[in-house]
């Protein structure tokens, strides 16, 4: 944790403007966009023979139990554990503590490699009845409810950018892209959302 | 304003309460809501709508659907003008503007209609023949060719940027039904019954297909009512998605279907932020093709006059649009279908002069015609038509058994030579078409993908079989994708059994003369052209197509392919299936480039990667350069500076005091685990086991074939934790390579690799004052003793914990690289800039970065070109003899070693001032006659500020050993430049490395 006087500066710092835009239907936005910032994003990559132990230890240390199920995510109000690959997860929460240290205290180097990726992603939350249609414009994944359901998390090409999409509920998605793509990503998302009317909300 | 003289007082699906005004070629007309441009033009008795491709013959509306070859117009004006749009598919809107194309100033008095007089000299292939004659490749030919190109052709693009935007979208379903006619609707209904996801695609504003213009009853109700009920029922289902105004244009592998939705084409301008058109990428478990069929024309003399139309189209205009396209009609047919047109015309008040039937048999509808006192002329054919630009005025009818000729006055000919299933998508899916000799049509053969054809697309034209096949196919498709089947009951329909269709592919010539009998109206291909192709040896249908352009227009031969190949079969004396069928290729109908491009235009053309300090560079007034998809500052010009001025200043100030550079784009890979050092031993050519914690080392990787691959600095942060850097260009490839080695080649190694390029911003601070600047920023002692060259350490930077500091140098100066978590990078960057102000710190861009590495003789992309070995680059000493590493075995092949390899050297122009050119060849003799042996090339060039002369790096055979201090020549033949230059060591500044270690 840095000097609290120095605020983390998001990749969207220069361009993020809250408000309602595009073709609102009777004054209502079809999709709501907000940036999740500032986050702690910790990658845990377990040694294969330590997978079960690491899952159990993360649960105790961080308060979320990752799932070994491919393309899945476990989330609570405050924290998510998103499957990235065999024995590999991202643990994500709003930055309130040194999550890297918290996990690293219990998950030792002989159990897993832990890498801080907190600054490496630009994360947008899309919600609302048109959120799936916005995503359908950028990916060929099956975005129908029931085929991309709450608790699913997939890595795919989204608007030509590598993205991790986490479905939180029927109409809500967290989308992780590389930080350097942040501005391009934000621009293309609001462009795609304009025909449905969109709201840009305060960061959460 | 013209009145709608051909409009019926009632009937049809148009809304007479909503008149719409539109303009065609400077005249204003009215139509009604529900019209197409074609139906509205016909309602206003506009017969002449275009000029033909080659002969500029007058042409009128021919069809009522996507097969239209003639009525192609410029739609809209200004930057929204779109050429070659089919008037039959354009929904009329208020204020629509359309213009005819391929004409002079006036459509009626098009001067190029004289081409028609020279038609004997413009047969198929005449243009190709101009390539061979005595005038080939002459100025005369070039001159005439300009006219040929100008007179041939279609509409013109506006040449202005398209103000609208386009979009793409993807969707998945279990069952995709293409075509919303009775068969398609029934298929969708039965497929969706048990929850399977169904997408129904229809190219019109509303589904219904033939039921929108035929007069059938279903379940005792009007066909249209059944359609509306069925569509409403489907729309109410969550698992059904209907795409209207959408054409499936391409059927690709894995049941991937490309469609284009005309979202706002029926409006003057797109609404709000809606795209004008949207491409849909649909992925289906099973596809039901209910694409219908296309009516085939009769081929007789002057069959292209305005007023000669397909019979089904005439019926459509009467029934669906309330328009009678003429006052006196002759119907000409080889099947029962056109009888219904005669009935519809008669019932709408048109005089049906006669129905000419090529068959001898009595049609099932014969009695209905006789009841209406319509004369039926059996066993006869129209052999020629007479008329002018205002349309047909009469036709000449001959008996097919010899004898009696008669002339019938008329202003409308409705013709039908049967219906051909629309096999385009089926054929694109990989299926082969099959000839059905009983029904005289091509039908779908065996399926290659998970699809089936139903209804007219399958050659079954009766409404009852359409509904039955649709229902069965929908149920089968659902079950094949894992859903329970429920074959929907098929409603009862009113239709009578039709008698057999007996096609007549070519009508006989009239008693006098040989008028042109057109097969392909859009490309002006007549029977004589096909016969010419046959005589000249182009007998294969694929050759026929290319030689005559038969079926190569924007209509893709929907009304010409089958007659064309039947006529070729006749000429060859073989059967139609022996002559074969040309291959169908996407798109089924034209798709605008804008739609295919989608939203990826302008600023959205491709994503841009920006570093976390991007905005600071902008504020410093940098000029940008693309580095892959990153954007990086190239240089920071001060007022009036050129790029050369700027990089020379930046280089001088950095070497003189201190400079700073954003090097975030270099790849950064985090390696953890007990076997990491061992892993590095295997992938790098040099040693890593004994690298102390807190130290960095330069490493070089080879490809497996021994060629130099990538280089960078890797640091040991703790016993089992390393941080690797790669070049910007290879960051992703190296990461993938490391994963491959760990997962596939050495899974036993306990190493985890993670890209952290995005986590860390990197700022290089270089120059003799860099230590003073850095010491003000970080919390660790950076004196030479405490933090020597190649030191690596964690640090707190400008109050930000968790940063990293490296004492590494690309410039050859005393230099540091500081890594900061990205969200703090701009803050730390500003702090460094502030700290450096007293030393006149200068930000420098890629131009200076590159220049300084050239001065220092470091290799980079231009030298790591996929042909050089480590030894070629002067790094042979790094290659360990004591261990195995990737590329080692092949690096020592004979051809990869030895005196004659091209090796890395430096160059200085002999006159000390002429700039060198990257990419230039190196030769030994200034005036040698070609062929001149090339002994090397210049890879990189720059300007050595300290020595005040241009410099270059390059590869030369034998390297420094063979050429040191000798003069060779830089040859740049494209610009006729020859520059003598001296071969020197590639290290131009601080050859002893004192600055690095100081």
pLDDT tens per residue across span B798-813? 999 999 999 999 999 9
Same-domain pairing of B661 and B730:
no
Span B163-190, average pLDDT: 96
CB A9 to CB B670 under 8 A? no
Span B810-834, average pLDDT: 97
Cross-chain CB nearest to A195 (options B274, B612, B752): B274
> A72 forms bridges with which residues in the sheet?
A152
Residues of B in contact with A180 (CB under 8 A): 609-611, 630, 758
| Region at B227 (left for phi over 0; alpha for psi -120 to 50; beta for the rest) | alpha
B588 located within any domain: no
Cross-chain CB nearest to B800 (options A2, A136, A137): A2
Same-domain pairing of A46 and A109:
yes
| Region at B734 (left for phi over 0; alpha for psi -120 to 50; beta for the rest) | alpha
Q: Which pTM does this prediction carry?
A: 0.93
DSSP assignment string, B337-363 = HHHHHHHHHHHTT-EEEEEEES-SSPP
Q: What is the pLDDT of residues A82-111, one digit of tens each?
A: 999 999 999 999 999 999 999 999 999 999
Q: Give the CATH number of the domain where residue B527 resides.
A: 1.10.10
Same-domain pairing of A70 and A32:
no
Interface test with B, best of A50, A163, A179 (most B CBs within 10 A): A179
pLDDT level of residue B621 (50, 70, 90 thresholds): very high
CB B283 to CB A43 under 8 A? no
B492 located within any domain: no
Q: Among residues A92, A116, A140, which one ends one of the domains?
A: A116
Give the angle B708-B710-B714 at the CA atoms, nearest 5°: 130
d(CA B798, CA B805): 12
Q: How many CB pairs under 8 A join A and B?
A: 143
d(CA B215, CA B572): 42
A3 located within any domain: no
B315 located within any domain: yes
B592 located within any domain: no
Contacts of A140 (CB under 8 A, 6+ apart): B170, B281, B283
Residues of A in contact with B275 (CB under 8 A): 195
Q: What is the pLDDT of residues A17-46, one digit of tens each?
A: 999 999 999 999 999 999 999 999 999 999
A6 located within any domain: no
Q: Edge-to-edge, what's the strand order for the sheet holding A39-46?
A: A73-75, A79-85, A88-94, A39-46, A112-116
* Residue B147: per-residue pLDDT: 77
CB A180 to CB B610 under 8 A? yes
CB B827 to CB A188 under 8 A? no
* Residue B234: per-residue pLDDT: 97
B876 located within any domain: no
Determine the residue of chain B that is closest to A179 in CA distance: B758
CA B340 to chain CA mean position, Å: 43
Q: Give the CATH number of the domain where residue A57 resides.
A: 3.30.70.1520
Same-domain pairing of B125 and B234:
no
CB B802 to CB A116 under 8 A? yes
* Residue A2: per-residue pLDDT: 53
Same-domain pairing of A33 and A47:
no
Q: How far is B921 from chain A (nearest CA, A)?
A: 39
Residues 76-115 on A with a CB inside 8 Å of B are 109-110, 112-115
CB B827 to CB A9 under 8 A? yes
Q: What is the pLDDT of residues B89-145, one digit of tens each?
A: 999 999 999 999 888 888 888 877 777 777 777 788 777 777 787 777 788 888 877
Residue B826 in tokens: 């701009």
Residue B24 in tokens: 């065609």
Structural domain count, chain B:
7
Structural domain count, chain A:
2
CB A178 to CB B758 under 8 A? yes
Span B940-955, average pLDDT: 96
> B660 forms bridges with which residues in the sheet?
B765, B843
- Residue B81 belongs to domain spanning: 1-161
Q: What is the pLDDT of residues B671-705, one digit of tens each?
A: 999 999 999 999 999 999 999 999 999 999 999 99
Residues of B in contact with A195 (CB under 8 A): 272-275
Cross-chain CB nearest to A121 (options B271, B600, B758): B758
Same-domain pairing of A128 and A97:
no
d(CA B340, CA B368): 9
Q: How many Cα neighbours within 13 Å face the side chain of B903?
A: 22
Q: Give the CATH number of the domain where residue B127 resides.
A: 3.10.20.440
A13 located within any domain: no
Q: Is A4 on the interface with B (CB under 8 A)?
A: no
CB B273 to CB A2 under 8 A? no
CB B599 to CB A137 under 8 A? yes
Interface test with A, best of B263, B664, B754 (most A CBs within 10 A): B754
d(CA B314, CA B343): 11
Q: Among residues A94, A116, A138, which one ends one of the domains?
A: A116
Same-domain pairing of A136 and A70:
no
Angle, to 10 degrees, between the axis of helix B846-856 and the axis of helix B643-656? 60
CB B604 to CB A181 under 8 A? no
Q: Is A191 on the interface with B (CB under 8 A)?
A: yes
Same-domain pairing of A183 and A141:
yes
B764 located within any domain: yes
B690 located within any domain: yes
CB B271 to CB A8 under 8 A? no
* Residue B132: per-residue pLDDT: 80
Residue B764 in tokens: 């290089």
* Residue B43: per-residue pLDDT: 97
CB B272 to CB A191 under 8 A? no
Same-domain pairing of B267 and B119:
no
Residues of A in contact with B614 (CB under 8 A): 183
Residue B904 has pLDDT above 90, yes or no: yes
pLDDT level of residue B496 (50, 70, 90 thresholds): confident
CB B272 to CB A195 under 8 A? yes
* Residue A1: per-residue pLDDT: 46
Q: Give the CATH number of the domain where residue A171 resides.
A: 3.30.1360.120
A12 located within any domain: no
Span B454-477, average pLDDT: 95
Same-domain pairing of B426 and B437:
yes
Cβ-count burial of B981 within 10 angstroms (0-12 exposed, 13-18 middle, 19+ buried)?
buried
Report the range of poorest mean pLDDT among A65-69, B149-153, B555-559.
B149-153
Interface test with A, best of B284, B607, B750 (most A CBs within 10 A): B607
What DSSP designation does A179 have?
Answer: G
CB B170 to CB A136 under 8 A? yes
Asked if residue B885 lies in contact with residue B683, where contact means CB atoms within 8 angstroms, the answer is yes
d(CA A197, CA A82): 30
Same-domain pairing of A51 and A111:
yes
Determine the residue of chain B that is closest to A110 in CA distance: B673
Residue B756 has pLDDT above 90, yes or no: yes
Same-domain pairing of A124 and A75:
no
B920 located within any domain: yes
Q: Is A144 on the interface with B (CB under 8 A)?
A: yes
CA distances from B45 to B3, B23, B348, B881 (A): 9, 14, 16, 91
Residue B154 has pLDDT above 80, yes or no: no
Q: How far is B919 from chain A (nearest CA, A)?
A: 32
Q: What is the pLDDT of residues A149-198, one digit of tens each?
A: 999 999 999 999 999 999 999 999 999 999 999 999 999 999 999 999 99
- Residue A132 belongs to domain spanning: 19-37+120-200
Residues of B in contact with A178 (CB under 8 A): 609, 758
Same-domain pairing of B742 and B825:
no
Residues of A in contact with B269 (CB under 8 A): none
Q: Among residues B856, B885, B914, which one ends one of the domains?
A: B856
Residues of A in contact with B172 (CB under 8 A): 142, 144, 147
A145 located within any domain: yes
Cross-chain CB nearest to B799 (options A3, A179, A191): A3
């Amino acid at each position: 944790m840095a000097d609290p006087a120095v605020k983390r500066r998001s990749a969207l710092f220069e361009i993020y403007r809250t408000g309602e835009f595009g073709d609102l239907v009777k004054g209502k936005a079809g999709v709501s966009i907000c940036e999740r910032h500032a986050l702690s994003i910790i990658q845990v990559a377990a040694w294969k023979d330590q997978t079960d132990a690491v899952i159990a230890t993360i649960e105790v240390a961080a308060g979320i139990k990752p799932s070994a199920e491919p393309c899945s995510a476990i989330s609570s109000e405050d924290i998510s554990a998103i499957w990235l690959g065999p024995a590999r997860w991202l643990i994500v929460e709003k930055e309130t503590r040194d999550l890297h240290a918290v996990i690293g205290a219990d998950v030792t180097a002989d159990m897993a490699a832990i890498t801080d990726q907190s600054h490496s992603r630009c994360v947008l939350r899309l919600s609302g009845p048109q959120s799936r249609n916005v995503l359908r414009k950028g990916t060929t994944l099956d975005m129908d409810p029931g085929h991309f359901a709450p608790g699913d998390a997939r890595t795919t090409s989204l608007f030509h950018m590598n993205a991790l999409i986490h479905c939180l509920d029927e109409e809500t998605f967290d989308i992780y892209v590389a930080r350097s793509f942040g501005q391009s990503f934000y621009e293309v998302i609001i462009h795609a959302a304009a025909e449905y009317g969109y709201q840009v909300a305060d960061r959460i | 304003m013209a009145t709608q003289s051909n409009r019926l007082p009632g009937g049809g699906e148009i809304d007479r309460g909503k008149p719409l005004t539109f303009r065609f070629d400077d005249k204003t007309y009215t139509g009604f809501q529900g019209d197409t441009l074609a139906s509205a033009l016909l309602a206003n008795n506009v017969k002449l709508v275009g000029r033909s491709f080659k002969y500029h013959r007058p042409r009128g509306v021919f069809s009522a659907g996507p097969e239209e070859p003639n009525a192609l117009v410029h739609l809209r004006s200004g930057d929204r003008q779109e050429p070659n749009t089919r008037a039959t598919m354009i929904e009329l809107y208020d204020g629509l503007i359309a213009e005819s194309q391929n004409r002079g100033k006036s459509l009626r008095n098009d001067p190029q209609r004289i081409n028609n007089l020279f038609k004997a000299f413009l047969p198929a292939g005449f243009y190709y023949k101009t390539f061979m004659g005595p005038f080939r490749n002459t100025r005369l030919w070039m001159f005439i060719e300009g006219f040929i190109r100008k007179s041939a052709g279609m509409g013109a693009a506006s040449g202005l940027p398209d103000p609208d935007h386009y979009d793409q979208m993807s969707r998945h379903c279990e069952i995709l039904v293409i075509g919303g006619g009775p068969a398609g609707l029934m298929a969708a209904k039965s497929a969706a019954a048990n929850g399977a996801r169904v997408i129904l695609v229809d190219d019109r504003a509303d589904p219904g297909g033939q039921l929108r213009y035929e007069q059938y009853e279903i379940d005792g109700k009007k066909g249209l009512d059944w359609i509306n009920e069925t569509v409403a029922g489907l729309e109410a289902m969550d698992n059904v998605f209907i795409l209207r105004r959408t054409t499936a244009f391409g059927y690709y592998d894995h049941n991937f279907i490309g469609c284009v939705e005309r979202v706002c084409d029926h409006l003057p301008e797109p609404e709000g932020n809606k795209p004008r058109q949207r491409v849909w990428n649909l992925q289906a478990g099973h596809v039901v093709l209910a694409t219908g069929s296309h009516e085939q024309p009769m081929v007789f003399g002057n069959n292209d006059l305005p007023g000669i139309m397909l019979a089904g189209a005439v019926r459509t205009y009467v029934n669906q649009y309330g328009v009678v396209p003429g006052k006196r009609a002759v119907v000409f047919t080889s099947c029962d279908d056109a009888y219904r047109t005669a009935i519809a015309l008669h019932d709408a008040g048109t005089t049906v002069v006669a129905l000419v039937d090529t068959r001898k048999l009595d049609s099932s509808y014969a009695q209905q015609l006789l009841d209406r006192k319509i004369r039926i002329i059996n066993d006869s054919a129209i052999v020629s038509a007479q008329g002018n630009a205002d349309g047909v005025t009469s036709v000449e009818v001959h008996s097919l058994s010899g004898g009696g000729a008669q002339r019938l006055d008329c202003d409308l000919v409705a013709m039908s030579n049967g219906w051909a299933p629309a096999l385009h998508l089926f054929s694109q899916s990989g299926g082969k078409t099959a000839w059905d000799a009983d029904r005289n049509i091509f039908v779908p053969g065996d399926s290659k993908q998970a699809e089936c054809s139903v209804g007219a697309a399958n050659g079954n034209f009766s409404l009852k079989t359409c509904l039955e096949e649709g229902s069965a196919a929908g149920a089968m498709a659902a079950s094949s994708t894992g859903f329970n089947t429920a074959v929907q009951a098929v409603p009862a329909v009113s239709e009578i059994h039709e008698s057999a269709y007996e096609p007549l592919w070519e009508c006989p010539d009239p008693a006098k003369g040989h008028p042109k009998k057109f097969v392909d109206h859009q490309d002006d291909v007549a029977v004589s052209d096909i016969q010419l192709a046959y005589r000249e040896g182009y007998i294969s249908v694929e050759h026929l197509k290319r030689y005559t352009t038969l079926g190569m227009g924007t209509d893709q031969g929907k009304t010409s392919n089958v007659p064309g190949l039947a006529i070729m079969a006749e000429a060859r004396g073989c059967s139609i299936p022996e002559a074969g069928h040309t291959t169908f290729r996407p798109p089924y109908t034209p798709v605008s480039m804008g739609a295919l491009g989608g939203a990826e235009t302008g600023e959205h053309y491709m994503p841009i990667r920006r570093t976390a300090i991007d905005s600071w560079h902008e504020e410093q007034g940098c000029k940008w350069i693309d580095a892959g998809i990153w954007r990086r500052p190239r240089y920071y010009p001060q007022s009036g500076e050129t790029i050369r001025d700027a990089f020379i200043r930046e280089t001088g100030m950095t070497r003189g005091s201190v400079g700073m550079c954003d090097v975030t784009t270099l790849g950064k890979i985090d390696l953890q685990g007990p076997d990491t050092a061992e892993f590095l031993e295997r992938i790098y050519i040099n040693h890593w086991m004994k690298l102390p914690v807190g130290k960095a080392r330069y490493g070089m990787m080879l490809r497996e074939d021994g060629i130099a691959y990538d280089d960078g600095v890797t640091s040991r942060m703790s016993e089992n934790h390393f941080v690797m850097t790669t070049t910007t260009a290879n960051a992703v490839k190296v990461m993938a390579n490391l994963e491959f080695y760990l997962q596939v080649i050495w899974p036993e190694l306990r190493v985890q690799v993670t890209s952290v390029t995005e986590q860390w911003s990197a700022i290089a601070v270089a120059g003799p004052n860099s230590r003073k600047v850095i010491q003000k920023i970080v919390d660790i002692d950076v004196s030479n003793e405490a933090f020597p060259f190649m030191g690596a350490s964690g640090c707190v930077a400008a109050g930000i914990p968790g940063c990293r500091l490296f004492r590494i140098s690309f410039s050859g100066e005393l230099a540091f690289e500081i890594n900061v978590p990205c969200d703090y990078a701009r803050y730390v960057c500003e702090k460094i800039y502030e700290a450096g102000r007293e030393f006149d710190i200068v930000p420098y861009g890629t131009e200076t970065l590159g220049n300084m590495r050239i001065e220092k003789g470091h290799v980079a992309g231009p030298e790591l070109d996929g042909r050089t070995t480590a030894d070629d680059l002067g790094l042979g000493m790094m290659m360990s003899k004591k261990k195995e590493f990737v590329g080692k075995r092949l690096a020592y092949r004979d051809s990869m070693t030895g005196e004659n390899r091209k090796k890395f050297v430096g160059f200085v122009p002999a006159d000390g001032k002429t700039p060198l050119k990257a990419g230039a060849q190196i030769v030994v003799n200034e005036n040698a006659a070609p062929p001149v042996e090339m002994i090397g090339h210049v890879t990189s060039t720059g300007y050595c500020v300290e020595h005040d002369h241009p410099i270059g790096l390059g590869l030369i055979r034998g390297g420094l050993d063979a050429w040191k201090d000798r003069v060779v020549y830089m040859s740049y033949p494209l610009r006729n430049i020859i520059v003598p230059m001296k071969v020197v060591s590639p290290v131009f500044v601080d050859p002893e490395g004192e600055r690095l270690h100081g």
